[in-house]
Amino acid sequence: MAFLLRGAHVVDPQEGIDDVLDVLIDGEKIACVGKDLEAPADAEVIDAAGKYLVPGLVDMHVHFRDPGFEYKETIETGSAAAVHGGFTDVATMPNTDPVTDTGAEIRYQIDRAYAAGLCHVRPIGAMTRGEKGESLAEIGDMVIEGAAAFSDDGHGVQSAGMMRTCMEYIAQFDRVALAHCEIESLSGHGVINEGCASTRLGMFGWPALAEELEIYRDIELVRLTKCPLHICHISTRKGLDLVRAAKADGLPVTCEVTPHHLFLCEDDITDAYDTNLKMNPPLRTADDAAALREGLLDGSIDCVVTDHAPHAPHEKDCEWEISFFGIVGLETSLPLMLQNLVASGKMSWSRLVEVMAVNPRRLLRLDPVSVKAGSAADLTLIDPTKSVTVTPEWMQSRSKNSAWLGQALTGVATDVFVSGKRTLTDGVVTPRH
Ligand SMILES: NC(=O)N[C@@H](CC(=O)O)C(=O)O
Ligand SMILES: [Zn+2]
Ligand SMILES: [Zn+2]
């Protein structure tokens, strides 16, 4: 199958492209990029005027709950949410049941994703067996089966010695350690940021220090082990300053931020106790969110990820203290970035592509995708003027625990091409086989 995308505004910082062009997709690859391309007889011509075409978006931090918690999300429903949100690739965290800590579990996810036929799923392996933080997982075995990175996300590795061993081991495989930074003796029973929010609402606080101290520890372990380290869902100004200092020292340290930590803060949590504002790490102060936005624009933060954390109604529609941590995000991430940062001119399209496509591919050790002849046809077509309302019916995820339910957002992906197959067509998810 061939597609000719006519008159798209192509943005690709890797190639220095920011221009209105035609792009011909033939089979799994981009055949040609240029002006006024001739349409081959078998090609479907797509009018892309007014739309942006970018290398396929990558979300390097999602939870698909498969195997073990399929009532929240499966690889199939999660993949549908991913392409609906404009992503060609997602990296799935290993806190499944069983935990993804062997090659067989990695292979299971890759096979299921292929059968779903919607997007590339890049499984992340656990660093420790069962994410218990006690002994090394089968890291070499998982690399052979296709693990993209390693993480015990959901938990911090409590023992510094264990983390050192994980990092020494991972460093041998050209993979990045993704760290959920949380010292549990400090976060304890915390369910909300410690400070004004916990005092105002009378709930146990989850202090910034619990995150920052572990970021500090892990950065020092990079000095020792030389293992590339990526800080997951960074949420505080001070944590970001630690990453900045590590980068200035030339250490292989990177970090990611979620839309909810960029665009929401603890002040948004009112006495309505909306549990779709409860996540780990918690929403921090308005000053922290401002620092994160600044860090994303100045290059200190490398990627935007959703930390898509689907939960069932009975796990969220309950008292704040007992509701589960986490919210879905795959279908609202791109619109939030476009609406809050790109439309206002604060962020350029090329920076958006860096943080949502180029950098995550590099960190997951995937082949680069560019808008040029010969590259894999993993592409996202975006209508920056189209509005959607975030309703449970509109969302393709099996879970509906979004912080933006009922809100109208402007700027969405209309089409997604994965290895040259159109898996999102005019906003509708279209499995490729
Ligand atoms: N972020 C969350 O609030 N929850 C995540 C775990 C995690 O990312 O740490 C989950 O798996 O539900
Ligand atoms: Zn986490
Ligand atoms: Zn997570």
* Alpha carbons 215 and 257: distance in angstroms, whole number: 14
Q: How confident is the model at residue 149, as a pLDDT?
A: 99
- What 3-state DSSP class applies to 6? strand
Contact residues for 370 (Cβ-Cβ < 8 A; gap 6+)? 12, 14, 15, 55
Residues 401 and 394: their CA atoms lie apart, in Å, by 13
**Ligand 1 — pocket residues by CB below 6 A?**
63, 95, 153-154, 180, 279-280, 307, 309, 325-326
Q: Which amino acid is at 36?
A: D
Which pair of structure tokens corresponds to residue 352?
Answer: 């958006």
Please name the residue whose Cα sits nearest to atom 7 of ligand 1. 154
- CA 406 to ligand 3 center in whole angstroms: 24
Mean pLDDT score, 69-89: 98
> Among 59, 101, 302, 307, which one carries the catalytic annotation?
307
Query: What is the CA(329)–ligand 3 centre distance, in A?
Result: 11
The pair of structure tokens assigned to 396 is 């393709």
Asked if residue 378 lies in contact with residue 422, where contact means CB atoms within 8 angstroms, the answer is no
Atom of ligand 1 nearest to the CA of 326: 3
Binding residues: 61, 63-65, 95, 153, 180, 233, 280, 307, 311, 325-326
Domains 2-53+373-429 and 55-363 share a fold: no
The single-letter code of the amino acid at 15 is E
pLDDT above 90 (res 5) = yes
Q: How confident is the model at residue 120 (pLDDT cuts 50, 70, 90)?
A: very high
Helix (H, G, I), strand (E, B) or coil at 422: strand
Pocket test residue of 72, 92, 97, 307 for ligand 1, highest count of atoms within 8 A of CB: 307
Which of the 8 DSSP states describes residue 327?
A: -
Residue range 55-363 in CATH 3.20.20.140: yes
Q: Kindly give, in sequence order, each residue whose CB lies less than 8 Å from that of residue 100, ignoring residues fewer than 6 positions away.
A: 92, 94, 106, 109, 123, 124, 125, 126, 142
**Binding site per annotation, positions for Zn(2+):** 61, 63, 153, 180, 233, 307
Q: Determine the distance separating the centroid of ligand 1 and the alpha carbon of 432, expressed in angstroms.
A: 30
Confidence of residue 431 (pLDDT cuts 50, 70, 90): confident
The structure's pTM equals: 0.98
Retrieve residue 64's tokens: 């698909």
Ligand lying nearest the CA atom of residue 307: 3
| d(C-alpha 249, C-alpha 223), whole Å | 10
Length in residues, the chain: 433
Predicted local distance difference test score (pLDDT) of residue 303: 98
Which ranges of 65-183 does DSSP label H, i.e. alpha helix? 75-84, 103-116, 139-145, 160-170
β-pairing verdict for 2-12 and 149-151: unpaired
Predicted pLDDT of residue 1: 86
Helix residue spans in 146-303 (DSSP H): 160-170, 184-187, 196-201, 208-225, 237-248, 259-263, 286-298
Say yes or no: domain 2-53+373-429 is CATH 2.30.40.10: yes
**Is the per-residue pLDDT at 144 higher than 80?**
yes
Measured CA to CA, the distance from residue 39 to residue 32 in angstroms comes to 11
CA distance readout (Å), 404 to 53, 333, 414 = 26, 10, 20
CB atoms within 10 A of CB 393: 7
Q: Which of 65, 90, 153 to mutate to test the pocket of ligand 1 (most atoms within 8 A of CB)?
A: 153
From CA 216, how far away is CA 164, in angstroms rounded?
Answer: 13
Q: For residue 62, how far is its CA from the centre of ligand 3 (angstroms)? A: 6
What residue spans define the domains of the chain?
A: 2-53+373-429, 55-363
What average pLDDT does the segment 10-35 reach? Answer: 98
The yes/no answer to whether this complex scores an ipTM above 0.90 is yes
Q: Tell me the H-state helices in 53-94.
A: 75-84
As a whole number of angstroms, the distance between CA 180 and CA 239 comes to 12
Nearest CA to ligand 1 atom 10: 309
Q: Does position 432 have pLDDT exceeding 80, yes or no?
A: no
The SS3 of residue 252 is: coil
Does 65 have pLDDT greater than 80? yes
pLDDT at 208: 98
Helix (H) or strand (E) segment spanning residue 342: none
Grade residue 433 by pLDDT with cuts at 50, 70 and 90. Answer: low
The answer to whether residue 307 is catalytic is yes
